[in-house]
């Protein structure tokens, strides 16, 4: 067992527990975006930052990937953490302002302005769909391609995947595109789903600009082509 | 692309215990690019998912999924080259070849590409044609570089190798002189570097007379051993991008900057006589 201190409270956790799990066990809220129970931690969004260490050695780490260490002192809501978190949210909001998930997070964390140019990306590279597809659906139909500013997500060669199970798992977990799939279920739709996106995915022509990797689409029963 | 050829490449590397990148590199060397069918075969044969193979193939700049031309022209756009005029050099290549970076000429002769740094900043602007470095490239030299490449760089290199003169060289990373005037070899200052091989580590002095293979070293180096060369000042590895031109050797080449401009490359295998000289402006 490992003993660590979170916001002044001592807690004992098992070896291999992450700081995020330990903090949540104590009831300290830490917002997350790319973290999901049942999927391996990935550390892409940096929203879960916490401060560890003391004095000049104090640093920010992503709690979802940081393993609990003996004697570790963690602060989950110091001024520095809150500032960093707000900045992360502001940047996420700039790259994907149409995402309801990000909008809600930003609003809950008092982000009242957005000073960066809006990019309207259809993907924030959080990797949730890749892990969902690989770890829960055992399909490995989609993955990252390229790197740096041209990194993108999709099927190999941008053609219909032979191994996709048409489960819809990737769309379900995606913070950037999940709205689209509520389109045909008006009672569940938050804002009209994909019909509100411009252009709506039903009107998109090419498979590779849809963030939907299912072909044919089974969730919405809209026949493409 | 022939299926059997690709399968034999995959099997060869599997037997040698190599990873995915070695397989992709060899396929690319063979076909000048990575055909989609070949990537699918690699995934199937090695038990990887197509997604993983495709991610690796698209991650590295040196892999191309589009067919490349006979000659590959890389124009460095790193910071140092950029401030010394690399964008104009790139434009001039694009103008003369009538293609944009990333494209191949319709006659499939040249592919123009840019890179972000070749680690030879002191030589900038640097252009690499089929693995041969050209330093301090000006727009006025673009035409002759293209002509020389069309004529075949390897022939030009051989002719240049018949000359006999003394070189003054420096480290490509820190640009510190490697010359040691206190210990002359063949009557002129020697080139002093640090070497390591087979667990030993020490200095090595080479003759600066081009074409002479006289060396002195702190410890005995077995003939045929491949030696790692380091700069004695900044400790950078003096490793060039290419392999020894002698077909029976193919050890990595060691590259050093020639003071007058250009690069000299010598083979890192003890006793091998492979070397290349690419002097700024000579024969270009
Ligand atoms: S729908 Fe296809 S791509 Fe998406 S998670 Fe399921 S198997 Fe993977
Ligand atoms: S498609 Fe969605 S879930 Fe997948 S990486 Fe992009 S934002 Fe994340
Ligand atoms: S095509 Fe169907 S499943 Fe795919 S995003 Fe659009 S509505 Fe959702
Ligand atoms: S939840 Fe930890 S980095 Fe995204």
Verify that A9 and A73 share a domain, yes or no: yes
Structure tokens at A2: 């490992």
* pLDDT of A66 above 50: yes
Mean pLDDT of chain A: 82
Q: Does A223 fall in a domain?
A: no
Residue A13's beta-bridge partner residues?
A2
Q: What domain range is B44 assigned to?
A: 3-59
State the average pLDDT over residues B30-58.
93
- The secondary structure element, H or E, covering residue B205 is strand B200-206
Verify that A114 and A150 share a domain, yes or no: no
Q: Which of B155, B179, B212 is the last residue of a domain?
A: B155
Verify that A184 and A90 share a domain, yes or no: yes
Q: Which of B105-109, B233-237, B259-263 has the lowest mean pLDDT?
A: B259-263
Q: Which of B89, B121, B155 is the last residue of a domain?
A: B155
Please, are residues A156 and A139 in contact by the beta-carbon 8 Å criterion?
Answer: no
State the average pLDDT over residues A125-135.
94
Which residue in B has a C-alpha nearest to residue A142's C-alpha? B51
Q: Does A215 fall in a domain?
A: no
Q: Does A220 fall in a domain?
A: no
Overall number of domains in chain A: 3
State the average pLDDT over residues B192-218.
86
Among residues B97, B99, B87, B13, which one has the least CA distance to residue B48?
Answer: B13
Q: For residue A211, what pLDDT is reported?
A: 52
State the average pLDDT over residues A3-7.
96
Q: Which residue has the higher pLDDT, A98 or B128?
A: B128
Q: Which residues of A touch B36 (CB under 8 A)?
A: 157
pLDDT tens for B119-171 read: 888 888 999 988 788 889 999 999 999 988 888 766 555 444 444 567 888 88
CA pair distance B46, B37, nearest whole angstrom: 14
Verify that A191 and A132 share a domain, yes or no: no
Which residue in A has a C-alpha nearest to residue B53's C-alpha? A156
Among residues B111, B85, B146, which one has the least CA distance to residue B32?
Answer: B111
Please, are residues B10 and B41 in contact by the beta-carbon 8 Å criterion?
Answer: yes
| Ligand 2 centroid distance, CA of A44 (Å) | 11
ipTM of the complex: 0.76
Q: Does B284 fall in a domain?
A: no
Please, are residues A143 and A98 in contact by the beta-carbon 8 Å criterion?
Answer: no
Q: Does B212 fall in a domain?
A: yes
Q: For residue A213, what pLDDT is reported?
A: 59
Task: Give percent of chain B with pLDDT exceeding 70.
Answer: 92
Task: Give percent of chain B with pLDDT exceeding 90.
Answer: 37
Please, are residues B254 and B240 in contact by the beta-carbon 8 Å criterion?
Answer: yes
Q: Which of A77, A95, A112 is the last residue of a domain?
A: A77
Overall number of domains in chain B: 3
What is the band of B253 on the pLDDT scale with cuts at 50, 70, 90? confident
What is the band of B191 on the pLDDT scale with cuts at 50, 70, 90? very high
Task: Report if pTM > 0.95.
Answer: no
Q: Does B50 fall in a domain?
A: yes
A135 reaches B (C-beta below 8 A): no
Q: Which residue has the higher pLDDT, A65 or B284?
A: A65
Phi, psi of B231 (to 5 degrees): -75, 130
Please, are residues B41 and B54 in contact by the beta-carbon 8 Å criterion?
Answer: no
Verify that A27 and A72 share a domain, yes or no: yes
B49/A157 touch (CB, cutoff 8 Å), yes or no: no
Q: What domain range is A161 assigned to?
A: 128-173
Q: What's A132's domain CATH number? A: 3.30.70.20
CA pair distance B282, B155, nearest whole angstrom: 14
Q: For residue A198, what pLDDT is reported?
A: 42
Contacts (Cβ under 8 Å, ≥6 apart) of A102: A33, A89, A92, A93, A96, A124, A175, A176
State the average pLDDT over residues A109-133.
91
Q: Which residues of B touch A145 (CB under 8 A)?
A: 54-55, 58
Q: What's B133's domain CATH number? A: 3.40.30.10
pLDDT tens for A23-41 read: 999 999 999 999 999 999 9
State the average pLDDT over residues A92-113.
90
Verify that B142 and B175 share a domain, yes or no: no
Neighbours of B235 (CB within 10 A): 11
pLDDT tens for A154-197 read: 889 888 788 888 777 888 888 887 544 444 444 544 344 444 44
What is the band of B281 on the pLDDT scale with cuts at 50, 70, 90? very low
State the average pLDDT over residues B258-264.
78
**What is the position in ligand 1's atom list of the atom closest to the CA of A142?**
3
Q: For residue A86, what pLDDT is reported?
A: 96
Question: How would you class A32 by CB atoms within 10 Å of its CB: exposed for 0-12, middle for 13-18, buried for 19 or more?
Answer: middle
Verify that B54 and B76 share a domain, yes or no: no
State the average pLDDT over residues B86-113.
92
Q: What's A16's domain CATH number? A: 3.10.20.740
Verify that A111 and A187 share a domain, yes or no: yes
Phi, psi of B164 (to 5 degrees): -140, 105
Enumerate the H helices of chain B as residue ranges.
Answer: 3-15, 20-31, 36-46, 50-59, 79-83, 86-97, 142-151, 153-160
Which residue of A147, A157, A163 is in closest CB contact with B54? A157
Nearest chain A Cα distance for residue B47, angstroms: 12
Q: For residue B279, what pLDDT is reported?
A: 63
B39/A140 touch (CB, cutoff 8 Å), yes or no: no
Question: How would you class A196 by CB atoms within 10 Å of its CB: exposed for 0-12, middle for 13-18, buried for 19 or more?
Answer: middle
Q: For residue A40, what pLDDT is reported?
A: 96
Q: Burial code of B179-210, b = ≥16 C-beta within 10 A, e = fewer? A: bbeeeebeebbbbbbbbebeeeeeebbbbbbb
Verify that B183 and B268 share a domain, yes or no: yes
Q: Which residue has the higher pLDDT, A116 or A123?
A: A116
């Amino acid at each position: 067992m490992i003993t660590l201190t979170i916001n002044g409270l001592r807690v004992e956790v098992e070896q291999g527990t992450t700081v995020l799990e330990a903090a949540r066990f104590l009831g300290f809220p830490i917002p997350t975006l790319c973290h999901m129970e049942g999927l391996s931690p990935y550390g892409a969004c940096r929203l879960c930052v916490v401060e560890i260490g003391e004095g000049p050695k104090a640093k920010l780490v992503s709690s979802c990937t940081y393993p609990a260490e003996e004697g570790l002192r963690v602060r989950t809501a110091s001024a520095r953490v809150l500032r960093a978190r707000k900045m992360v949210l502001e940047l996420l909001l700039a790259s994907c302002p149409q995402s309801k998930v990000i909008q809600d997070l930003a609003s809950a964390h008092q982000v009242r302005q957005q000073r960066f140019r809006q990019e309207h990306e259809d993907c924030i590279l959080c990797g949730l769909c890749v892990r969902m597809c690989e770890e829960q659906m055992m399909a490995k139909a989609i993955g990252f391609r390229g790197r740096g500013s041209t990194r993108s997500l999709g099927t190999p060669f941008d053609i219909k995947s032979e191994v996709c199970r048409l489960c819809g798992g990737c769309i379900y977990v995606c913070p950037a595109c999940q709205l689209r799939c509520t389109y045909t279920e008006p009672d569940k739709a938050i804002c009209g789903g994909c019909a509100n996106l411009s252009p709506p995915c039903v009107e998109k022509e090419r498979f590779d600009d849809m963030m939907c990797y299912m072909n044919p689409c089974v969730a919405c029963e809209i026949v493409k082509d | 692309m022939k299926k059997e050829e690709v399968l034999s490449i995959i099997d060869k590397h599997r037997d040698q215990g190599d990873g995915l990148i070695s397989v992709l590199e060899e396929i690319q060397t063979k076909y000048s690019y990575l055909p989609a069918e070949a990537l699918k075969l690699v995934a199937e044969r090695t038990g990887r998912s197509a997604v993983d193979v495709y991610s690796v193939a698209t991650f590295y700049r040196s892999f191309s999924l589009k067919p490349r031309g006979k000659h590959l022209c890389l124009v460095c756009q790193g910071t140092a080259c950029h401030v010394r005029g690399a964008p104009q050099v790139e434009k001039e290549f694009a103008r003369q070849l009538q293609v944009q970076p990333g494209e191949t000429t319709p006659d499939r002769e040249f592919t123009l590409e840019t890179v972000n740094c070749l680690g030879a900043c002191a030589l900038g602007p640097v252009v690499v044609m089929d693995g041969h470095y050209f330093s301090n490239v000006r727009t006025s030299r673009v035409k002759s570089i293209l002509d020389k490449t069309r004529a075949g760089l390897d022939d030009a290199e051989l002719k240049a190798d018949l000359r006999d003169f003394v070189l003054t060289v420096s480290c490509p990373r820190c640009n510190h002189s490697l010359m040691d005037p206190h210990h002359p070899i063949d009557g002129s200052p020697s080139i002093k570097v640090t070497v390591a091989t087979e667990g030993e580590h020490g200095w090595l002095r080479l003759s600066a007379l081009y074409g002479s293979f006289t060396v002195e070293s702190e410890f005995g180096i077995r003939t045929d051993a491949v030696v790692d060369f380091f700069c004695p000042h900044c400790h950078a590895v003096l490793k060039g991008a290419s392999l020894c031109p002698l077909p029976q050797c193919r050890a990595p080449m060691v590259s050093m900057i020639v003071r007058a401009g250009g690069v000299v490359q010598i083979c890192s295998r003890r006793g091998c006589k492979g070397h290349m000289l690419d002097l700024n402006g000579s024969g270009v």
